[in-house]
Amino acid sequence: MGGKLEETVSILIPIYNEEGNLSLLYDRLDSALKKMGRAYEIIFVDDGSSDGSLDILLDLREKNPNVKIISLSRNFGQTAALSAGIDSSKGDIIIPMDGDLQNDPEDILPLLQKIEEGNDVVSGWRKGRKDPFLTRRLPSIIANRIISWIGGVYLHDYGCTLKAYRRDILKNIKLYGEMHRFIPAYAGAVGAKIIEVPVQHYPRRLGKTKYGLERTIK
Ligand code: UDP
Ligand code: MG
């Protein structure tokens, strides 16, 4: 592989009924990715949206040839959507994020830089997480402790979608259920170098969350 600037980046974004968020998300991404200065692709995985999301995505692809769309036939859930995105991605570095602007595209570059410093997984940590305490943050604190303890990889925030992975790390992992959250634990088991980096977190901008307490239990 050549120098660092020749490495390519795949941004993966699962989309389920996010029509109100997509234009602003794209504008923020576009500006962050210009600053990043590496070749990239943005893979939007439309997870069976029933609103106007897919039409908006098709327009974005007209504007920017680096935009790719995978359109799933029905709603399969976020993990399956990410898995489909990983399978069709080409980048040396893979960065999943949410499509509702709870993550900040400006965090992509710092994560990428940590990969380039020699880490295999750089895990976003929503230090100031903007979700309800009782139904979301508390269950997730407990879940993070349990996953850390079982897997031996101690992270504050397994649940943050925004992470960066070296492609090789994902090669042998098959995703199902809610499993995309556990990738760092699997990666740790095969000797990957993993660090956690604080990232921004915002309240969901528009639309509503598709999840509640049952997911944490799952
Ligand atoms: N999402 C998806 N399929 C689903 C549910 C959600 O692709 O069945 C997407 C959603 O559009 C968003 C991301 O996954 O981009 C995270 O979903 P959400 O914001 O509902 O979860 P939360 O932030 O509340 O954990
Ligand atoms: Mg969200």
Q: Is the pLDDT of residue 170 over 50?
A: yes
For ligand 1, atom 15: residue with the closest CA? 99
DSSP-assigned beta bridge partners for residue 69: 44
Beta bridge partners of 94: 10, 165
Containing 116, the helix (H) or strand (E) segment is: helix 108-116
Distance 1 CA to ligand 2 centre (A): 35
Is the shortest distance between the CB of 31 and ligand 1 below 6 Å?
A: no
**How confident is the model at residue 1, as a pLDDT?**
43
Confidence class of residue 176 from pLDDT cuts 50, 70 and 90? low
Backbone angles phi, psi at 196, to 5 degrees: -115, 140
Asked whether 12 lines ligand 1 (CB < 6 A), one says no
Report residue 213 as tokens.
């307490």
Enter the pTM of the model: 0.94
- Ligand 1: atom nearest CA of 210 is 20
The whole-angstrom separation of Cα 30 and Cα 23 is 10
Q: What is the pLDDT of residue 215?
A: 74
Ligand closest to Cα of 18 equals 1
Give CA–CA dist 127/17, Å, rounded. 27
Q: From start to end of 47-204, where are the E strands?
A: 67-71, 93-96, 121-126, 163-166, 194-199
Provide the token pair at 89: 């991605």
Q: What is the spatial distance between Cα 189 and Cα 152, in angstroms, rounded to a whole number?
A: 8
Closest CA to 68 of 87, 44, 88: 44
Least confident interval from 89-98, 129-138, 164-173: 164-173
* Mutation to probe ligand 1, out of 73, 210, 214 (largest number of atoms < 8 A from CB): 210
Could you read off the pLDDT of 6-26 as tens digits, one per residue? Answer: 899 999 999 999 999 999 999
Kindly give, in sequence order, each residue whose CB lies less than 8 Å from that of residue 30, ignoring residues fewer than 6 positions away.
64
Mean pLDDT value across the chain: 92
Residue 177 has pLDDT above 60, yes or no: yes
pLDDT band at 171 (very low <50, low <70, confident <90, very high): confident
pLDDT of residue 139: 94
Q: How confident is the model at residue 2 (pLDDT cuts 50, 70, 90)?
A: very low
- Break the chain down into helix, strand, coil percent, rounded to 5: 40, 20, 40
CA distance 150 to 134: 24
Region 160-164: mean pLDDT is 96
